Amino acid sequence: MTKHITAKQPSQIIHTVSCPYCGTKLDKMPVRKCMCRECRKNIYPWKELQTNKIILLKETELQSYNNKKEEYNFVRKWKTRLLESGMSRTKYEELGKKLDMPSERDVIWCGFNQLIMEYSVISDFRHLKDLYFSLALFDNEEGNNPFDNLRSSHKMHLLYLKQTGNKVRIMCSGSGCETCEKQKDKIYPIDYALTHSILPNSKCTQYLQNGQYPFCRCSYI
């Protein structure tokens, strides 16, 4: 007589959970840091970034996975910002294919520069100001000096303001930087500000979070 075996429904399937050190079976999947009852070592539950599947890590593996999480969040944030700045998903994917074994950061950086070239052709200074400012923030988060891209952002802003006026006033962020405060409310002809690159303040002492270089937050109005 043939014995028929009925397949279990997904809700009936029992997944075994084991200690990543000694292999001892655990009663259930832990939701927070716990200790194995056999080897007495700490176990760290971790949610996979792409699948949301929970895996169990050793303490020595934790830093590596934290680094992966930071990189994943960095790339997701800046890719979203790039797409919101005007790059289509199709162009983003095409750009990645053109580069030689690029990292996601390389694609994002090149994407912003491609948009800058496109908006430069039509002299869209308002968008160019925002794009250069985004690159300055990107520099800051990567630990690079944002000064050059900040300067370009201010130059584009001046060119945009020049379309409707001939003078600008400096507004400070109230950061407590003494050299920036000395410039507060000063008024300059736009052509003079363009020639002398008044902003960003090269002597600014303000830093953004986790920044390794000063990040002047003064602006023209």
Alpha-carbon dihedral sign for residues 204, 205, 206, 207: positive
Is 80 exceeded by the pLDDT of residue 128? yes
Task: Report the 10 Å Cβ neighbour count for 150.
Answer: 26
Task: Tell me if residue 43 falls in helix, strand or coil.
Answer: strand
Q: What is the per-residue pLDDT across 27-80, written as a single tens digit (0 to 9) for each?
A: 999 999 999 999 999 999 998 887 888 999 999 999 999 999 999 999 999 999
C-alpha closest to that of 195 among 219, 149, 159: 159
Domain boundary assignment for the chain = 15-57
**Residues in contact with 219: Cβ distance below 8 Å, sequence separation at least 6, in sequence order:** 154, 157, 170, 171, 173, 199
What does the pLDDT read at residue 210? 81
Average pLDDT, the chain: 90
What does the pLDDT read at residue 50? 78
Q: What is the per-residue pLDDT across 93-109, written as a single tens digit (0 to 9) for each?
A: 999 888 776 789 999 99
What does the pLDDT read at residue 98? 84
The partner residues of 57 in beta bridges, in order of sequence, read 44
Is 90 exceeded by the pLDDT of residue 192? yes
Query: Which pTM does this prediction carry?
Result: 0.83
Alpha helix stretches (DSSP H) within the chain:
59-84, 89-98, 104-121, 125-142, 147-161, 178-181, 190-196
What does the pLDDT read at residue 5? 40
